[in-house]
Amino acid sequence: MFLRRMRNGVPILDTVTQKCMVEKTGKFEFRIVLTQGLNRQIRRMSEYLGYEVTKLKRVRIMNVKLDVPVGKWRYLSSRELNEINKLVSGSAKTHL
């Protein structure tokens, strides 16, 4: 029931979250791919359904995998930058 409710949207912050992909990965773990990024969205969705998030790991932002060690950084590739620009080109919040 938890996974189905998370997938179909949960009322938080005076709105209902958009549908998202959720899969169970362990007894007390799940993987989620959001299509929107509300403030503390995963924590708030889980709390609404009676669960507490104790650990949260972001692995990707849009098309960029966060695969560098903690405290390190890397330049975005030309391909990543081009893809980001395509993805945000229609956004009213983007000022390029």
- Predicted confidence at residue 93, as pLDDT, reads 73
Question: 38-83 pLDDT, tens per residue?
Answer: 999 999 999 999 999 999 999 999 899 999 999 999 999 999 999 9
For 1-57, CATH gives: 3.30.70.1560
Domain ranges of the chain: 1-57, 62-96
Nearest to 45 by CA among 92, 84, 88, 9: 9
For the record, the structure tokens of 37 come out as 């990024």
End-to-end CA distance of the chain: 42
Per-chain mean pLDDT for the chain: 92
Distance separating alpha carbons of residues 45 and 59, to the nearest angstrom? 19
With contact defined as beta carbons under 8 Å apart, do 46 and 40 qualify?
no
